[in-house]
């Protein structure tokens, strides 16, 4: 019969071919110890989605806050979409995170009681093309913990180099 088209996966390509990463908060993994994660949707307007499709977003100073039994993403910078003209959005406006009430109670309760922080770790489009945000329940690392993590990564890198030279 006919030949089947088989695509080989390249390094770094995820299992889902439609998964499209937008932004990742790399500093969060350094500054915080991630205890639990949760995927949630975002309530966005059209010009914001257009900017996200161009990978124009910054999660560096962003965090999530619980107000009136709703979770809001604060400090996330999505620049204006130039072609939107008058119908544009405010770049740093708070955006509502879409979660079930049980998830909000669980995460908000832990964050409030234990002094933890809700930090956006990653933003991406899922297989259906819907913008999602991976929010982590995090505890701040102490300075000595950060140094220890850097030392550990450095020794791992050295071991990997030594193994390649053999």
The neighbour count for residue 40, using CB atoms within 10 Å, is 20
Q: Note whether residue 2 is domain-resident.
A: no
Distance, in Å, from the CA atom of 134 to the CA atom of 37, rounded to the nearest integer, reads 7
What mean pLDDT do residues 66-70 have?
87
The answer to whether position 4 is within a domain reads no
**Average pLDDT value for the chain:** 82
Q: For residue 56, is it within any domain?
A: yes
Instruction: For residue 154, tell me if it sits in a domain.
Output: yes
Question: Which residue range(s) make up the domain with 141?
Answer: 20-161
The answer to whether residue 119 sits within a structural domain is yes
Residues sharing a CB contact under 8 Å with residue 20, sequence separation 6 or more, in sequence order: 124, 125
Per-residue pLDDT for 11 more than 60? no
Inside any domain, residue 128: yes
Mean pLDDT of 88-101: 85
Per-residue pLDDT tens for 26-61?
888 888 888 889 899 999 888 888 888 888 888 888
Whole-prediction pTM:
0.74
Domain tally, the chain: 1
What is the CATH classification number for the domain harbouring 105?
Answer: 2.40.280.10
Residue 13 resides in a domain: no
Q: How confident is the model at residue 145 (pLDDT cuts 50, 70, 90)?
A: confident
pLDDT band at residue 18 using 50, 70 and 90 as cut-offs: low
């Amino acid at each position: 019969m006919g030949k089947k088209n088989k695509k080989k996966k390249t390094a770094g390509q995820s299992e889902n071919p439609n998964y499209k990463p937008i932004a990742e908060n790399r500093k969060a993994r350094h500054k915080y110890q991630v205890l639990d994660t949760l995927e949630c949707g975002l309530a966005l307007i059209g010009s914001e989605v257009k900017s996200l499709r161009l990978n124009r977003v910054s999660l560096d100073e962003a965090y999530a806050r619980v107000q009136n039994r709703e979770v809001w993403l604060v400090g996330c910078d999505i620049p204006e979409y130039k072609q939107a003209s008058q119908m544009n959005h405010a770049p740093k406006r708070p955006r509502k995170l879409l979660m079930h009430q049980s998830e909000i109670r669980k995460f908000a309760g832990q964050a409030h009681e234990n002094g933890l922080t809700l930090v956006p770790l990653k933003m991406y489009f899922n297989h259906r093309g819907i913008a999602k945000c991976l929010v982590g329940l995090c505890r701040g690392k102490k300075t000595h913990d950060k140094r220890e993590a850097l030392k550990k990564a450095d020794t791992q890198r050295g071991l990997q180099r030594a193994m390649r030279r053999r």
